[in-house]
């Protein structure tokens, strides 16, 4: 049987490229059980496929045997088949929980096209249709019922479902249940409470996600109450995806993107931007060169659907979008995914680049970033993860008899965004319960440690951008660093990312080192000779000299690493209870090369123009202000008061004092005595985030 691309639903079917893969990699013969025969027969008869993708058979066998399973496979890796096929072999209906309506509708359409009996219940369906779907489930006329997690809040809904026990329960996008995951959904908390009732008949649970770190995997297993679950962590390597990450200013990014997409072979393409405003501006600009449209959550639903359908049909070459675009997209021939700005987490970034090249014919994932991305994500973070004091304030406003969610947000005085986020976080951490009619009740007695739990989660979330920024600026194989992040054991170098092949990328360029750079390369090798390694920061400061910045240190060490002369190790140490990460650089062999002849084998990345302009000027201005501030100019009593305030604030937030503000920043504030937020933000060490968090307190201390 020949498998055609037209017959292949995304997320559950192998591609023709994968069929070629199986042809070239025969499976080692092993004894077959009756379940094996049923699996293969059903795969061919019901799903019209000849072979499994790597890892699918193993999962299906375990689920058919009644074993709980956690399946972590990348986007497009075929996770859906791991519940769809066992459902038919076990000869009973499957209950599927999915948080994404677009993805739910897509799966329903594909299963129905195969002649399978499937229905769904979610908030976008008329009540009569949802009731009909529930009756079909209870009558036993369905193979699959897909439900949105918020339906579990409807009084009596789970009990009605449980009247017909499923043969298995599938939890899609399972990372949403974890407070450590990149897309935590409070509704998913209900799953852990409802599952015992829904699987009273012994149904196994299949939890599926494309992006889960080891910590998130542990949390999923715990919250779904399946401690004996087998874990299947597969496929984070994409040998057909060329990954590049390049630092350049926001002003340069549009031109670089245009050059990348100028070759028709690199289209269709998706360009991800960080804001709706950027999407509108970029889409307008790119229309001059490509068949292009924008897509974001602020657009009318009908217009979003038209853009998505046009892209699917091939009527558009480029879509410029926020993260709202992508779920449910069944387009296998996307040749390029471009990020203009770093996403907020490694998980988000990997999920988005995974939409490229699902046909197995090769694709590019190009990420252009600047330091300014951090400031934007700090603003997002402040809206999405309010201060713990804000949550305590909102919680105190919940009356004994409950209050409507909208009324609580209005009463909070925090505004729609921050107030709404505070209510959702209270719910997510168990401090309140929200009924189906959106009435908020106090539930903190059942979660006495909710505030400390939120503080820990907030600190973790604040570090997620650091992880993706470190991946972008780091050296060594991108794919190796990526698969280690997700706990995949296949961490060999990919041999084709911009770090492994620096002279063949779309955006990066290498050259022979200049005379000055040759001197720096020699100095680093000599400093490492006879040592067990030096931290990257120490190389920057003590070896390259005071004028070298982090970017220059990265380029020098990266050149030595690519030449095989040094090895870079990620290490950690604990200081004052906090885990500090750093990179240790050491020679690859005990004997360092002598002389200068080895320099001919070293290629250094061409830095090009400075990656930022406004930020560079601001940094210089702040450095000048810092130079003017000294302890002789400051009021000693004000300095003592500011330090006392810092200690109190650090205790309140569960941080170390210097993570609130450094001594130098406090000294500068004491010297300049700002009288407004505008003046405060002109000082070094005070950005928008610090000003928002601490500005009012600092001005009060200065002016009291």
Token readout for 511 is: 């050259």
Query: Residue 419: its pLDDT value, please?
Result: 94
What is the phi/psi pair of residue 432, to 5°? -135, 160
Query: Residue 465: its pLDDT value, please?
Result: 87
What is the phi/psi pair of residue 120, to 5°? -145, 155
Token readout for 438 is: 């959106």
**Residue ranges in 50-156 assigned as alpha helix (H):** 56-64, 81-89, 101-113, 127-139
Residues 145 and 171 in one domain: yes
Residue 590 maps to which CATH number?
1.10.10.10
Residues 129 and 29 in one domain: yes
Cα–Cα distances in Å, from 593 out to 411, 520, 533, 555, 645?
69, 15, 16, 19, 53
Query: Residue 1: its pLDDT value, please?
Result: 32
- Going by their DSSP bridges, the two strands 144-147 and 168-171 should be labelled as unpaired
Would 153 be classed as within a structural domain?
Answer: yes
pTM over 0.75: no
Residues 137-192: pLDDT tens digits? 999 999 999 999 988 888 899 999 999 999 999 999 999 998 887 778 888 888 88
Query: Residue 55: its pLDDT value, please?
Result: 87
With vertex at residue 312, the alpha carbon angle to CA 325 and CA 73, rounded to the nearest 5 degrees, is 60
What is the SS3 assignment for 171? Answer: strand
Residue 263 maps to which CATH number?
3.40.50.300
Query: Residue 199: its pLDDT value, please?
Result: 92
Residues 248 and 202 in one domain: no
Would 657 be classed as within a structural domain?
Answer: yes
Which of 145, 95, 97, 138 is closest to 117 using CA atoms? Answer: 145
Would 498 be classed as within a structural domain?
Answer: no
Q: Which domain holds residue 543?
A: 509-605
Q: How far apart are CA 269 and CA 279, in angstroms?
A: 14
Residues 597 and 628 in one domain: no
Instruction: List the 566-575 sheet strands across, edge first.
Output: 534-535, 578-587, 566-575
Query: Residue 234: its pLDDT value, please?
Result: 80
Would 573 be classed as within a structural domain?
Answer: yes
Spatial neighbors of 130 by CB under 8 A, at least 6 apart, are: 121, 122
- Tell me if 649 sits within 8 A of 660, measured CB to CB: yes
Low-confidence ranges of the chain (pLDDT < 50): 1-31, 609-617, 619-621, 623-629
Residues 95 and 185 in one domain: yes
- Tell me if 582 sits within 8 A of 536, measured CB to CB: yes
Would 499 be classed as within a structural domain?
Answer: no
Which residue matches tokens 């217009």? 303
Residues 694 and 634 in one domain: yes
What is the SS3 assignment for 403? Answer: strand
End-to-end CA, the chain: 82
Token readout for 411 is: 């009463």
Among 538, 571, 605, the domain boundary falls at 605
Among 573, 605, 637, the domain boundary falls at 605
Residue 620 maps to which CATH number?
1.10.150.80
Residues 320 and 217 in one domain: no
Residues 145 and 216 in one domain: yes
Among 233, 254, 285, the domain boundary falls at 233
The domain total for the chain is 5
Would 453 be classed as within a structural domain?
Answer: yes
How many Cβ atoms sit within 10 Å of the Cβ of residue 400? Answer: 7
Residues 246 and 228 in one domain: no
For 173-229, give the DSSP string: SGGGG-TTSTT--GGGHHHHHHHHHHTTT---EEEEES---HHHHHHHHHHTT-TT-
Burial code (b: 16+ CB inside 10 Å, e: under 16) for 548-571 equals beebbbbbbbbbbbbbebbebeee
Query: Residue 10: its pLDDT value, please?
Result: 31
Residues 159 and 12 in one domain: yes
Token readout for 205 is: 């649970």
Residues 623 and 559 in one domain: no
Q: How far apart are CA 321 and CA 355, in angstroms?
A: 13
Instruction: List the 94-97 sheet strands across, edge first.
Output: 118-121, 144-147, 94-97, 168-171, 205-209, 69-72, 230-233
- Tell me if 2 sits within 8 A of 45, measured CB to CB: no
Would 330 be classed as within a structural domain?
Answer: yes
**Partners of residue 295 on adjacent β-strands:** 321
Which of 395, 433, 429 is closest to 412 using CA atoms? Answer: 395
Would 375 be classed as within a structural domain?
Answer: no
Residue 441 maps to which CATH number?
1.10.10
Residues 14 and 154 in one domain: yes
């Amino acid at each position: 049987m020949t498998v055609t691309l037209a017959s292949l639903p995304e997320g559950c079917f192998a591609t023709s490229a994968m069929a070629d893969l199986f042809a070239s990699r025969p499976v080692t013969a092993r004894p077959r059980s009756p379940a094996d025969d049923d699996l293969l027969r059903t795969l061919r008869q019901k799903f019209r496929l000849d072979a499994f993708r790597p890892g699918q058979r193993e999962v299906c066998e375990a689920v058919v045997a009644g074993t709980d399973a956690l399946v972590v496979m990348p986007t497009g890796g075929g996770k859906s088949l791991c519940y769809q096929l066992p459902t038919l072999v076990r000869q009973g209906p499957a209950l599927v929980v999915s948080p994404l309506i677009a993805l739910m509708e897509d799966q329903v359409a594909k299963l129905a096209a195969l002649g399978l009996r499937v229905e769904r219940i979610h908030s976008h369906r008329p009540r009569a249709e949802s009731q009909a779907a529930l009756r079909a489930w209870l009558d036993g006329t369905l193979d699959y019922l897909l439900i949105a997690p918020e339906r579990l809040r409807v009084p009596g809904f789970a009990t009605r479902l449980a009247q017909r026990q499923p043969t298995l329960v599938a939890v899609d996008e399972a990372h949403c249940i974890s407070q450590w995951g990149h897309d935590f959904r409070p509704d998913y908390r209900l799953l852990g409470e409802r599952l015992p009732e829904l699987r009273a008949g012994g149904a196994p649970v299949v939890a599926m996600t494309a992006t889960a770190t080891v910590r998130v995997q542990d949390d999923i297993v715990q919250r779904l109450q399946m401690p004996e679950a087998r874990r299947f962590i597969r496929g984070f390597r994409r040998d057909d995806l060329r990954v590049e990450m390049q630092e350049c200013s926001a002003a340069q990014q549009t031109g670089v993107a245009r050059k990348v997409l100028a070759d028709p072979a690199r289209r269709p393409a998706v360009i991800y931007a960080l804001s709706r405003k950027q999407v509108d501006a970029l889409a307008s600009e790119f229309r001059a060169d490509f068949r292009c449209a924008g897509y974001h959550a602020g657009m009318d639903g009908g217009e979003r659907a038209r853009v998505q359908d046009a892209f699917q049909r091939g009527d558009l070459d480029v879509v410029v979008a926020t993260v709202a675009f992508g779920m449910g997209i069944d387009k296998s021939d996307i040749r390029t995914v471009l990020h203009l700005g770093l996403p907020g987490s490694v998980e988000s970034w990997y999920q988005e680049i995974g939409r490229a090249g699902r046909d197995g014919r090769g694709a590019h994932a190009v990420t252009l970033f600047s330091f300014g991305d951090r400031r934007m994500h700090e603003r997002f973070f402040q809206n999405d993860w309010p201060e713990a004091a804000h949550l305590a304030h909102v919680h105190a406003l919940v009356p004994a008899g409950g209050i409507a969610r909208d009324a609580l947000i209005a009463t909070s005085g925090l505004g729609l965004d921050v107030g709404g986020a505070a209510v959702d976080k209270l719910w997510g951490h168990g401090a309140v319960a929200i009924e189906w009619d959106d009435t908020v009740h106090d539930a903190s007695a059942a979660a006495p440690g909710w505030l400390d739990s939120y503080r820990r989660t907030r600190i973790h979330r604040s570090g997620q951008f650091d992880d993706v920024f470190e991946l972008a600026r780091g050296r060594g194989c991108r794919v190796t660093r990526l698969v280690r992040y997700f706990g995949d054991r296949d961490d060999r170098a990919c041999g084709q990312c911009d770090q492994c092949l620096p002279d063949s990328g779309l955006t990066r360029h290498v050259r022979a080192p200049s005379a000055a750079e040759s001197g720096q390369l020699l100095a680093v090798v000599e400093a490492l000779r006879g040592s067990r390694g030096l931290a990257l920061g120490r190389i920057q400061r003590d070896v390259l000299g005071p004028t070298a910045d982090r970017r220059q240190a990265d380029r020098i060490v990266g050149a030595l690493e690519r030449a095989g002369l040094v090895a870079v190790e990620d290490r950690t140490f604990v200081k004052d209870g906090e885990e500090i990460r750093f990179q240790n650089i050491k020679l690859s062999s005990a004997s360092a090369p002598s002389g200068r002849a080895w320099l001919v084998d070293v290629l250094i990345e061409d830095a090009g123009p400075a990656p930022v302009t406004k930020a560079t000027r601001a940094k210089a201005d702040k450095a000048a202000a810092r130079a003017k501030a000294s302890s002789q100019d400051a009021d000693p009593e004000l300095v003592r008061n500011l330090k006392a305030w810092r200690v109190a604030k650090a205790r309140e937030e569960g941080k170390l004092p210097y993570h609130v503000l450094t001594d130098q920043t406090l000294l500068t504030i004491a010297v300049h005595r700002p009288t407004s937020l505008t003046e405060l933000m002109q000082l070094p060490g005070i950005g928008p985030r610090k000003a928002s968090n601490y500005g009012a307190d600092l001005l009060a201390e200065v002016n009291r």
